[in-house]
Amino acid sequence: MLLPTQDIAGLCAHWHRIDESLLSDTGVELWLYCPTTTEPMISGNKWMKLQYHIKLIQQQQYRGLVTFGGAFSNHLAASAAAAQLNGFDATAYVRADVIDRQNPTLQYCLTKGMTLIATDRQTYRQRQQPDFLKMLALRHPGCLIIPEGGSSELGARGVAGLNLTDTPAGPADVIATATASGGTLAGLIAASTQQSAVSSNSAKVLGLTVVNDLSLPEKVANLLAEQAVDAACWRIVATAPDQRYAKCPAEHVNFCCEFTLKHNIAVEPVYTGRALFKLYKMIAAGEFAQGSRISFFHTGGLQGLAGLYYRQLITQQQYQILSAAAVG
């Protein structure tokens, strides 16, 4: 079955208004935008970031794709699923010393026919270097090279097709999302800019970064280089600068479980849950004016729950709570 690439394939988007005493006490309104597709592994933001890459592969008749990711990468799982559904090859350079076939994410990628190449950290750091990319192009002729996380101009373009400004209750004042590689954030900034150009509605975009990457603002700006974007319309805030990426401190995991049980919306502690935790802290600190309406983009990533349990970063009970309410 081929997924159509003209639009967001099989997208079913759900808006959820979040009711919390914190929100009523501060007068802040919070809406979650939760997109799913017919293939759970490419739900959230993944299909949006991949759709134009896939379209290019089909138009240019590439034989497949080559991409990059960590051993528990949502992007790798989504790329493997998309390649298998569309009938082309997929190869991934995995940041790992060996390919662990018991790892749930890598196991899934292998079942979808993706070729996995273990890549040491020193080599992996070259993934954005022109000479390294030229070498890969020679090694994998006829393949489209997709950056880590799908964060390219094509990836941002896919996300820019979303309208998170208009919630069911009216225009949002703030659009918020978790960000790591920057593609989703760049797309939302572009979308908000486009929306403000055709209507009186404009929203500030808030990227809640889950990685400690000082170059992230530059990466986002580069993805927006060809667009007329006001730098004042977006900002990046660190979620937990004292915590390494994907280490899942207890307070984040507990927050995710409590949120999931209360709202029946699964969030994981690496991306969405970590970003929501920080957003709640900002709301409690009075960083949003009373009457503010926040639109929060749930980027999916729930396939990673199995990997967190596999690494014993969450307990069996926590895994059961979070996976039982998974939205995609």
- Region for residue 245 given its phi and psi (left: phi exceeds 0; alpha: psi -120 to 50; beta: otherwise): beta
Instruction: Please report how the helices 74-86 and 46-60 are oriented relative to each other, as an axis angle in degrees rounded to 10.
Output: 40
Q: Which residues are catalytically annotated?
A: 73
Which residues face 92 on adjacent strands?
A: 67, 116
List Cα–Cα distances, 183 to 142, 218, 233, in angstroms: 24, 12, 16
Q: Which of 48, 28, 26, 29 is nearest to 37 (CA)?
A: 48
Q: List Cβ neighbours of 8 (8 Å cut-off, separation of 6 or more).
A: 35, 37, 47, 48, 51, 158, 161
Between the CA of residue 125 and those of 6, 8, 92, 243, what are the distances in Å? 34, 32, 15, 21
* CA 53 vs CA 50, 262, 272: distances in Å: 5, 37, 24
- Token pair for 2: 């081929």
Six-digit token string for 277 = 């935790």
**Which candidate, 205, 214, 213, 212, places its Cα nearest to that of 184?**
205
- Please give the Cα distance from 72 to 52 (Å, whole number): 23
Which residues lie closer than 8 Å to 113 by C-beta, 6 or more apart?
80, 83, 84, 89, 90
The candidate with the shortest Cα–Cα distance to 127, out of 148, 101, 152, is 148
Say which residues have a Cβ less than 8 Å from residue 161's Cβ, sequence separation at least 6: 7, 8, 48, 191
Helices (H) and strands (E) in the chain, counts: 13, 12
Distance CA 135, CA 8 (A): 33
